[in-house]
Amino acid sequence: MKKAFKAIFALGAAGACGMSTTAVAQTSSINLYGVADLGVVHENGAAAGSVTKMTSGMMSGSRFGMRGREDLGGGTAAFFTLEAGVLMDTGASGQGGLLFGRQAYVGLDGSLGRITVGRQYGTLATAQAEYDPFVTGLAGTSANLISAGGRGGSNRMDNGLKYNLPTGLGGLEGELSYALGEVAGSAATNAQYGAAIGYTNNRFSSRIAYADAKDANGPGKDAREVFLAAKYDFGPFVGYANFVINRGAIVPGTPNFKSEDYLIGAQIPVGARGLIYTSYIYKNDRTAANNDAQQFGFGYAYSLSKRTRLYTSFAHIWNNAPNTASSGFYRVWNANDVGNPTAGNSGFSIGMNHNF
């Protein structure tokens, strides 16, 4: 499908621009891609009781996207991504109905690094996904207890500008991000800032990330978060560790504004096609409410092919807070169920994930 679409694109671009098809095919490409993820989830333990339902995007969000890239010469390339979220159970658009709600950006890539502009993932959210054994998916996602650092706990930023260091720096990685608040008369109001520095070699990887969302909790009340993480390939398994300092960055659906969060976990290969995911998270609430929480998560995925996996997962959260919607009661969200009052402190899911 990708090759066919490339050919169609090359012919169309050549006809529109009066160029030869050979020249266009050598310098430009465009690919369609996506994820179809759907399964059944059972949630219980919330004030609203228990529920069994079909849910989209539990392992990774279902999506349909388009990527394009053009070689500009001299080692520089222009590129873009347009990515739409899809709710497989209903056919509706994800991310509140936005057309390209997952990602929509354009950028330049060269020897001095990479620049992207548009709607994209925040710097701390990117680090969180990389250093979560569940890759912020399945019932055991770290996002149940650990904030992604954006406005309202969001893992994406609108009006975003991001810079990444070039590759080939001996394992050194770095990122800076800034999102315009677009408030008349004030460049700082509602703006977001992010920064990260890390190092990766064959077996070890680490990252320090910072997020600052201005006025996220009211005028002059910022949401700040520091994320420290590492992972190491021990051979039989890959171990993960996180330490997070949170000052105002919420988990969606909860009022907590101050905590320290700890995670340990692992990905464990089972045979040639199986993979176990597991983690334990402790949230130390530093407010007067003392709404501490702990989560244990377990998951298993079996690859039917390079593109298709069957999966199951379970997570349970122990809350110090009362079982009410407004008290700081943390829930086991299942992907697109964020904000659903029926989500409980236990969740079990089973489904299929197909990449194309």
Q: Domain extents for the chain?
A: 36-355
Q: Dihedrals φ, ψ of 96, to 5°?
A: 70, 20
Is 129 within 8 Å of 150 (Cβ atoms)?
no
pLDDT at 25 > cutoff 80: no
Instruction: Please give the structure tokens belonging to residue 9.
Output: 């694109």
Q: What is the mean pLDDT of the chain?
A: 90
pLDDT at 278 > cutoff 70: yes
Tell me the range of 11-20, 25-34, 170-179 where mean pLDDT is highest. 170-179
Is 246 within 8 Å of 216 (Cβ atoms)?
no
For the stretch 108-160, pLDDT in tens is 999 999 999 999 999 999 999 999 999 999 999 999 999 999 999 999 999 99
| Top-tier CATH class for 36-355 | mainly beta
Instruction: Read off the pTM.
Output: 0.89
